[in-house]
A and B are shown apart, each in its own frame.
Chain A
Amino acid sequence: MVDRPTTRRALLARGAAAFATLGLAGCENVTDIPLAKRILGGVGGLNRRVQEAILGQEQLAQEYELGDVSTSFYANGSTDPDDKHYKAMAAKGFDSYKLVVDGLVEHPYELTLAELRAMPARTQITRHDCVEGWSCIGQWTGTPLQGVLDRAGVKPTARYVVFHCFDTMDDGDPSGPTPFYGSIDLLAARHPQTILAYDKGGKPLEVKYGAPLRLRVERQLGYKMTKYIRRIQLMEDFKDIGQGKGGYWEDSGYQWYAGI
């Protein structure tokens, strides 16, 4: 076979043109193309399936020493909820706080902070990884979520644990501030390091860290760890809450699965 540059030149030019188009498409609003939207929206599901195939229930996130704890643990997202009911409760040391556990459970119930503190406790010094890229190390004490769920009796149809929060996000929505919520699946919910934390560094949570109760899901990023929890709802799916993506941050464009 004899090759002649001229016969290849046209091919080369076509190839270069096709490649340039691809490159340009990447820089323009390719995210508006339905297929691109589907691919970009679906990749979080691929991350989830692969990580869940790798991760068993027993693997723990690394735990650290007291000396590793960050001196100034960055507080992100809501740091001071504006809700009147919340402010009134906070002013009285959350004496009137009650956590609601309901949804697809056999026995919906409520828990005061004292009752939560009387339940089995776990203290862990873990790394908080933010989606933005930073990491802080903190010591958290709380009760494993698994125990709270077991006490309610999770119905077999339940797939997700949805956390409704006191805080709202004022993102310029004309219908008013958006209530904050988040969700995890039962696999994450039943992990031994998944706790409803009420203490940080051995002291009750400060408001900026989510007082009186916040979630720790140590094998995922910080945006899954809802603060200011008021209600835990077991659900089959979360499509009817918010914009249906499973959380405030997910509705704003973050992937639902945050193991990476």
Chain B
Amino acid sequence: MSSAETELDDPVVANDDAVPKGKEQRLVTLLKRHSVVVRVTHWITVLCLTMLLMSGLQIFNARPQLDFGIKTDFDHPPVAIDSDKVDGRARGYVRIGEHRFDTTGVLGLSTFEGKPAERAFPSWATLPGEQDLGTGRAIHFVFAWLFVANGLVYLVWGFATRHFRRDFLPSRTQWRHIGGEILDHARLRFPQGEKARQYNAIQKITYFSVVFVLLPLLVVAGWTMSPGLDAAFPFLLHVFGGRQTARSVHFLAAFGVVLFVVVHVALVLLSGLFNNMRSMVTGWYDIGQERGTHG
């Protein structure tokens, strides 16, 4: 790997003559932000998580309720997505404890091929679109294997190159200024120039949490639903307090990932879609110029 391929490398300064004429010329400071391993594993992860989520919702639809503990409560599940008739009209709903939320059209009751369908998640959110648990499971397993293999490559590479230590742990200075950074984030002021040479503290904490907490939790909770793996590793059941808790944790962690992706994509858009996409596709990121005083 050439030095230009290493993470957060020295910047290359160039006059950006790509800016259309008539616009103000500005200095572009490009640095190699993402190595090829990060870029490739990132996009494989995007593919895997999409497939896993949609096939996972297909699997969830087979028993659209969440339980806690060692067994299922068929009569009073803590969380359920279902449909019934209210005043003679079919309604879809989500019930959490005693609270019922009408979700007709999306959850519990939606339209599939022009006909009303009593299904927890609608066909546009599941893979396959029709109810097909066997194929849904096959898709889930294929992308689960790919996700784990891809994740292992990324983890081994990240530890070997000290990527995690360098880029995922906030520096002492960053910890000291974290309050101001949160405020800057809330105002959608993103670091430029020298400060943008490395991830900011919120990025570091978030990526650390997703890579080392949320995604491993999701995977291990998934394993705990396997009767074979439960026999091989009985502690899995004890860690979660039962297969049904593990199933609920798996589901909730998946939505934690969805939440992360929503915020992640929103920030990618707000902090410069082109620059961010370029850095995750080609590796090159423009840190721009040091911003003077705001306003």
CB contacts under 8 Å to A, within B119-146, are 127-129, 132-135, 137-139, 141-142, 145
* Cα(A131)–Cα(B132), bound, Å: 12
Distance between B265 CB and nearest chain A CB, rounded to angstroms: 14
Partner of B227, one of A46, A61, A253: A61
Interface of B is mostly: helix
CB of A221 within 8 A of CB of B227, answer: yes
Asked if B127 and A27 sit within 8 Å, CB to CB, the answer is yes
Q: Are the C-beta atoms of B71 and A44 separated by less than 8 Å? A: no
Contact: A260 with B12, CB < 8 Å? no
- Residues of chain B lying within 8 A (CB to CB) of residue A72: 74-75
Contact A253-B229, Cβ < 8 Å, known A3-B284, A12-B282? no
Closest beta carbon of chain B to A177's beta carbon, Å: 20
State how many residues of chain B have any CB contact under 8 Å with chain A: 57
Asked if residues A136 and B72 are in contact (CB atoms below 8 Å), the reply is yes
Instruction: Give Cα A141–Cα B18 distance, bound, in whole angstroms.
Output: 78
CB of B18 within 8 A of CB of A5, answer: yes
Q: A253 near B70 (CB under 8 angstroms)?
A: no
**Chain B, 47-74, contact with A by CB distance < 8 Å: what is the 0/1 string?**
1001100100001101100010011101
Contacts of B4 in A (CB 8 A): 1
Output the residue of B72, B133, B142 with the most chain A CB within 10 A. Answer: B72
* Selected contact of B274 from candidates A5, A43, A127, CB within 8 Å: A5
The reply to whether B231 and A219 contact each other, CB–CB distance below 8 Å, is yes
Task: Give the interface residue-count category, chain A.
Answer: 35 or more
Which residues does chain A contribute within 8 Å of B225, judged by CB atoms? 129, 133, 260
List, in ascending order, chain A residues with CB within 8 A of B231's CB. 55, 59-62, 218-219
Which residues of B does A touch, CB under 8 Å? 4, 12, 14, 16-18, 28, 30, 43, 46-47, 50-51, 54, 59-60, 62-63, 67, 70-72, 74-75, 127-129, 132-135, 137-139, 141-142, 145, 225-232, 234, 237, 242-244, 247, 274, 277-278, 281-282, 284
Given known contacts A1-B12, A135-B244, A254-B134, what 14 new A-B pairs fall within 8 Å (CB)? A3-B14, A4-B18, A5-B16, A22-B47, A23-B50, A46-B141, A54-B229, A64-B70, A70-B71, A72-B75, A136-B72, A137-B71, A255-B137, A260-B141
